[in-house]
Amino acid sequence: PGADRYLGGSPTDFTGDGKDDIVTFTRGNLNDAYVATSTGSSFAGTSIKWNDFFGLNGETLLTGDFNGDGRDDIVAFTHGTLADVYVSLSTGNSFAPSSKWHDWFAPAAEVAAVGDINGDGKDDIITFTHDTNADVYVALSTGTSFAGTAIKWHDYFSIAGEFPALGDVNGDGKDDIITFT
């Protein structure tokens, strides 16, 4: 798993200046995170190491503003039997050391996603079971963790072979679930 996971885009404004930056996760033996910030017409200089250990092989790595401070952070879904979720918050010029924000989310080969589904300005985590049950579970961000046990928000959505995604399709300030068949 890992290379065959379905991944949609996620926001990457790590500095909070309104321009999306780019991030690279080295994985392998180093597991570093590098960022090149946007100038609006190019990416500044060479990429700079923002975190010294984040994102192991097989984990899903995404981004989102999990604490609502206007800067996008990074998140790792470990999957497997641990199914932990780690977040590393952006300081504007680096990612702070990661901490566990959820203890059981997106196990096995579930498809993890990020979006602000309740419109509170903090990105939440979503998982699509992507199997014959096709359930969708959510854990809302509190700003310092993802709240409690994941809650089923939809009973049948995005079966295996479909591409799940999120976006605010009706403009109400809350991200909606989307699937491409």
DSSP of the chain: --TTS--------SSSSSS--EEEE--TTT--EEEE-B-SSSB-SS-EEEESS---TT-EEEEE-SSSSSS-EEEEE--BTT--EEEE-B-SSSBPPPEEEESS-S-BT-EEEEE-SSSSSS-EEEEE--SSS--EEEE-B-SSSB-SS-EEEESS---TTSEEEEE-SSSSSS-EEEEE-
Query: Do 138 and 126 meet the contact criterion of CB atoms below 8 Å apart?
Result: yes
Mean pLDDT of 42-53: 92
Average pLDDT, stretch 113-141? 96
- At residue 46, the pLDDT reads 83
Distance separating alpha carbons of residues 146 and 160, to the nearest angstrom: 26
> Average model confidence (pLDDT) for the chain?
93
Judged against a pLDDT cut of 60, whether residue 6 lies above it is answered with no
Give burial (CB, 10 Å; 0-12/13-18/19+) of 148. Answer: exposed
The predicted structure's pLDDT at residue 10: 80
User: Which pLDDT band, with edges at 50, 70 and 90, does 3 fall under?
Assistant: very low
160-173 residue pLDDT tens: 999 999 999 999 99
Residue 1 has pLDDT above 80, yes or no: no
Tokens of 33: 């995170």
Predicted TM-score (pTM) of this structure = 0.93
Q: What is the mean pLDDT of residues 146-158?
A: 95
pLDDT in tens, 65-102: 999 999 999 999 999 999 999 999 999 999 999 999 99
Looking at beta carbons, which pairs linking 137-140 to residues 24 or more positions away fall under 8 Å? Answer: 137/105, 139/85, 139/102, 139/105
Q: For strands 99-102 and 111-115, give the pairing.
A: unpaired
Predicted confidence at residue 8, as pLDDT, reads 63
Structure tokens at 86: 């780690």
User: Percent of the chain having pLDDT more than 90?
Assistant: 88
The pLDDT of residue 107: 95
